[in-house]
Chain A
């Protein structure tokens, strides 16, 4: 067990120096995550970019990780807070394994734990600046849920974070079905990720799709999407409006 001696600067809300210990704004951020339940489990897609403000600083960040045997965790928002959450979950899963009782954490349990952690931090005015997506399969039952940085938590058949809320949700609401096959699910996610690539300034054309089924977790190799820029109107946009742009 590690003991941490708390640095007593006083109440963070009243004392200005104590502010240096609260998260005020995010620095290195990941953009949207889009996830859906499909026939055999859950599919989750994310790109691999980490932006530092308006600079694309890191292009090889894995924002989807396996948790235990039954869950997948995807995060958008502050990357360092995501890494901290992974450490918390590591400790949690380790302690659970030490019981050695044949039982292991399912997605529902992990989701509940994360909800408590996020809400607790929010109440102390020191949030973990992430929106988390938790998907998994246990005993044949698929589960997909989301927790935001203020502790809002819910479960749904399809979720999207960040810009995906505005751009991917309408597509998912229209086209999701309960009996999607793997290929159809991937096509649907790619459709959403392509729109995000066109219209989200912090998205990059390098994405990973993770799949979780009863058998386990597979995270795909990074790949890129084909984009189309050959509309006639883009070739000479001001043909009809000389002098305009």
Chain B
């Protein structure tokens, strides 16, 4: 009996067993969602992407300062909403594929390449890979901005929002977007849209991340705005109650402190 190798696509082998387990009363593990506000807009010289930094697990904030703007190529970045693992994995995977493609062709990556690779993957999983993406970049053909939905459909737009806070952010864009914005106007508008999501949507919060991509240059402004600082911080720091005499001070470093100077692209976790 020769083994026929699997042809690819989704393997449904474990579905019957999963169903049986759920019937027997097993609670499926909950997953980390990035209830999110992500936006992108095209301005005069390129593309600006923005995102909030809150990752939720149901009603709990699991990560107060996560990174939702993912690196795809030196000239292409992608914001991700939906299940955090899915957005991370799918952007990582396509980023590797783009790098291999760059080595093979000897040219800079194009945004539509990333778009086609992402939508092919998402469509083949029929929406089970829950990743909603805002893909933006500047390549040899100009600036591009696309949205990609979990089922694999895409849109090409001058301004786009995704995630649970997309309505709040879209209301800011629809009211205030104009063509030919300058860099500062664009950053201000993106920050306003993300703040609108942060303050009006429960799934979004904490800080604003911004990424500005122009021809031949990109700026990743991590925590560009921090509109939710800790409300009460004791200015005195920690002090012992009553008068405690300090007899001896000994500091033991637990980890070797290494200074890293970032050269080139920011390190991805």
Contact = CB atoms under 8 A, between A and B. Distances in A.
Interface of A: 166-171, 173-174, 191-192, 194-195, 198-199, 231-234, 237-238, 240-242, 244-245
Instruction: Give the size category of B's interface with A.
Output: 20 to 34
B144 A241 contact: yes
* 8 nearest CB pairs, A to B: A233-B158, A166-B167, A170-B168, A170-B196, A167-B171, A170-B200, A195-B174, A241-B112
Q: Is the interface of A mostly helix, strand, loop or mixed?
A: helix
Contacts of B65: none
Given A173-B200, A174-B196, A232-B179, A241 B156 contact: yes
Q: Is the interface of B mostly helix, strand, loop or mixed?
A: helix
A240 B172 contact: no
A197 B179 CA distance: 20
Contacts of A234: 158
A168 B156 contact: no
Given A171-B171, A171-B172, 17 more contacts: A167-B168, A170-B171, A173-B199, A195-B170, A195-B171, A199-B167, A199-B170, A199-B174, A233-B157, A238-B156, A240-B112, A240-B156, A241-B111, A241-B115, A242-B112, A245-B155, A245-B156
A243 to B, nearest CB: 9
Interface string B1-28: 0000000000000000000000000000
A85 B157 CA distance: 44
Contacts of B154: 244-245
A170 B142 contact: no
B120 to A, nearest CB: 12
B48 to A, nearest CB: 15
A238 B158 CA distance: 11
Contacts of A199: 167, 170-171, 174
Contacts of B171: 166-168, 170-171, 192, 195, 199
